[in-house]
Chain A
């Protein structure tokens, strides 16, 4: 009786969902962020539902199984446009974005009221590395040392510290590809001293980003500048959402996301967001001159990052239609995290202004065969993955600085399929994802 009352009450709680993103799973994330009654959590331990959104390449299945087993019982899984793992063949699968929030809510209610059993554990419950300590408790023997207890060796820090000589022991761990603070799909082997990143080796590149179809059409035919620029502003607003959420500015993050989904964003609302962001202390307290890109690095990343480092690289400048609208690239000279966000905000503003103006004049692009995407120039080649850059950029930063630097960079390659195709049919999603993967490998 009491137990059933407790579970009825528990069923009324916000639905705690841990999202494990596969290829092009972001739309699900955005939808859920805007849904009341659903809470996206950062740790699998804090969730009752594991949402796998988008196709997960087979080489990440082992990691997915580990994430799956970390959810505390009772828990269930839901697969959005993704093929469930073989062991979980009976799990719920949803392909319609609109049906997703409802499906999650129902699943949670059934789980809490005991109408549905917990998802089975997939891996044996034993340490990934066997006990290799010395003696019963691991100590004794060689001086004060005690072997390699659970695969974690005693470190021999013979190299000097990166900063001031106060060396904390280094810990080496593999992070990703489902860590929600990293770009989806990115995994890396990281050596940390305390919270200082000592070494960073990117192992798996992030999944390619899907752009709007207007950027693809712009390669082949003149497209309305208004449409192109609105799509660009939308892309940047979604990136801003991620960074603001990471910085603990939940409210402004949601405002940015809401703007990104408005059919016609008004410029005043972006200006208001910018002003609020400035007043909240975002630039003074959280982004503080870290993650500076050298010119060469900035060129490799391209797009906003390049212009934030003072490189005048913008294909739009070559288009006469843009020039007639009075377009000149905005530039910053800092090249650091703060400069990238100032640049992004300024470019969102500029894009909306161009869109407004172009709409009045009915302006279309004139250059064909190349387009400036939000991720950088697309001339002969699509923007390629630049995540290897992190190996040189992140060492020496504190964890917080490293993550805010990561959030400010758009490093993923551009997918060869437009967003609309990927979301149009499920077939395209699964197959497209895999072939992208093969192509890059």
Chain B
């Protein structure tokens, strides 16, 4: 294969970027920064994929990972008790286990890279990778991909439907009891005293 030297140069630079930003994920003291360092790492990998002529997969990697990391960062902020993720916090824990697991997986992957025999079958020069990927995805394997896709989509929609009740204050009063504003208080967002309200105790002031 002959390709310009600049491709090699970019490959090296992008690999360094991917590794360094991946390493920074574990050094930073913020959930948001960690997520976006990971995103930078993925973008570098996506660019390497474009260099490897996997154009569609490389570009798709950008938007998949951008949305994914954005959502991940927000959910971490929501579930951690750190206001908006603005306070510094320790991002690594279980040090010993993490080090051992990291070392083992590095050795395994490095062994695969060094010991595996990669096939040496040059692709035809006029191959259009996007078209062939499209044919692969939507040709013989279409049934598998489509059914997996639809199952995933219905699962996601189902989860959203089950876990939310129209908006944040929306129609929750119909059939469900939102939590009280104060501990043990009146349910929030419930109609105060509806005249036909079933099962309510009515207080009449005279």
Contact surface of A with B, Cβ cutoff 8 Å: 133, 137-140, 143-146, 149, 152-157, 159-171, 196, 395-396
| Binary A-proximity of B172-199 (CB < 8 A = 1, otherwise 0) | 1000001111110000110000000000
- B110 interface residue, CB < 8 Å from A? no
A396 with B29: CB separation less than 8 A: no
- Distance in Å: Cβ of B115 to nearest Cβ of chain A: 39
> Which residue of A144, A155, A196, A396 contacts B90 across the interface (Cβ within 8 Å)?
A144
**Bound Cα distance from A338 to B126, whole angstroms:** 63
> Which residue of B81, B91, B163, B180 contacts A155 across the interface (Cβ within 8 Å)?
B81
B89 with A138: CB separation less than 8 A: yes
- B82 interface residue, CB < 8 Å from A? yes
A162 with B181: CB separation less than 8 A: yes
Given A138-B89, A164-B165, do A169 and B81 touch, yes or no (CB 8 Å)?
A: yes
- B86 interface residue, CB < 8 Å from A? yes
> Which residue of A137, A156, A170 contacts B88 across the interface (Cβ within 8 Å)?
A137
Number of interface residues of B (CB under 8 A): 30
Q: Which residues of B contact A153 (CB under 8 A)?
A: 83
Q: Which residues of B contact A161 (CB under 8 A)?
A: 168, 179
A133 with B88: CB separation less than 8 A: yes
Q: Is the interface of B mostly helix, strand, loop or mixed?
A: loop
**Bound Cα distance from A164 to B77, whole angstroms:** 17
A169 with B168: CB separation less than 8 A: no
**Bound Cα distance from A169 to B180, whole angstroms:** 18
- B93 interface residue, CB < 8 Å from A? yes
- B78 interface residue, CB < 8 Å from A? yes
Return the chain B residue nearest A147 by Cβ.
B87
**Bound Cα distance from A155 to B80, whole angstroms:** 9
A160 with B88: CB separation less than 8 A: no
Q: Which residues of A contact B188 (CB under 8 A)?
A: 162, 396
10 A-B pairs (CB sep. < 8 Å):
A138-B89, A144-B89, A159-B183, A160-B180, A162-B169, A162-B189, A163-B169, A163-B178, A395-B181, A396-B188
> Which residue of A160, A165, A170 contacts B83 across the interface (Cβ within 8 Å)?
A170
Return the chain A residue nearest B90 by Cβ.
A139
Closest CB pairs A-B (n = 5): A163-B168, A138-B88, A160-B179, A139-B90, A169-B83
**Bound Cα distance from A155 to B89, whole angstroms:** 13
Q: Which residues of A contact B83 (CB under 8 A)?
A: 152-155, 169-171
- Distance in Å: Cβ of B35 to nearest Cβ of chain A: 16
A162 with B78: CB separation less than 8 A: no
- Distance in Å: Cβ of A403 to nearest Cβ of chain B: 17
A149 with B88: CB separation less than 8 A: yes
> Which residue of B77, B88, B93, B178 contacts A168 across the interface (Cβ within 8 Å)?
B77
Q: Which residues of B contact A167 (CB under 8 A)?
A: 78
Q: Which residues of A contact B158 (CB under 8 A)?
A: none
The CB with the most chain A CB atoms within 10 A, among B86, B168, B183, is that of: B168
- Distance in Å: Cβ of A16 to nearest Cβ of chain B: 29
Given A138-B29, A139-B29, A396-B188, do A146 and B168 touch, yes or no (CB 8 Å)?
A: no
**Bound Cα distance from A170 to B86, whole angstroms:** 12
Q: Which residues of A contact B81 (CB under 8 A)?
A: 145, 154-157, 169
- Distance in Å: Cβ of A394 to nearest Cβ of chain B: 13
> Which residue of A149, A165, A396 contacts B87 across the interface (Cβ within 8 Å)?
A149
**Bound Cα distance from A169 to B85, whole angstroms:** 9
Q: Which residues of B contact A163 (CB under 8 A)?
A: 167-169, 172, 178, 189
B168 with A145: CB separation less than 8 A: no
- B154 interface residue, CB < 8 Å from A? no
**Bound Cα distance from A169 to B78, whole angstroms:** 6
- B20 interface residue, CB < 8 Å from A? no
- Distance in Å: Cβ of B190 to nearest Cβ of chain A: 12
A168 with B78: CB separation less than 8 A: yes
- B164 interface residue, CB < 8 Å from A? yes
**Bound Cα distance from A396 to B180, whole angstroms:** 12
B93 with A144: CB separation less than 8 A: yes
**Bound Cα distance from A196 to B183, whole angstroms:** 19
> Which residue of A137, A143, A166 contacts B29 across the interface (Cβ within 8 Å)?
A137
- B71 interface residue, CB < 8 Å from A? no
**Bound Cα distance from A167 to B169, whole angstroms:** 13
Q: Which residues of A contact B167 (CB under 8 A)?
A: 163-164
- B137 interface residue, CB < 8 Å from A? no
Q: Which residues of B contact A155 (CB under 8 A)?
A: 81-83
**Bound Cα distance from A299 to B84, whole angstroms:** 39
Return the chain B residue nearest A145 by Cβ.
B89
B residues 129-147 near A (Cβ < 8 Å) are none
Return the chain A residue nearest B75 by Cβ.
A166
**Bound Cα distance from A250 to B158, whole angstroms:** 43
> Which residue of A137, A140, A159, A162 contacts B168 across the interface (Cβ within 8 Å)?
A162
- Distance in Å: Cβ of A14 to nearest Cβ of chain B: 34
The CB with the most chain A CB atoms within 10 A, among B82, B83, B180, is that of: B83
**Bound Cα distance from A145 to B78, whole angstroms:** 15
**Bound Cα distance from A165 to B78, whole angstroms:** 10
- Distance in Å: Cβ of B110 to nearest Cβ of chain A: 31
Given A169-B77, A396-B189, do A139 and B89 touch, yes or no (CB 8 Å)?
A: yes
**Bound Cα distance from A143 to B163, whole angstroms:** 30
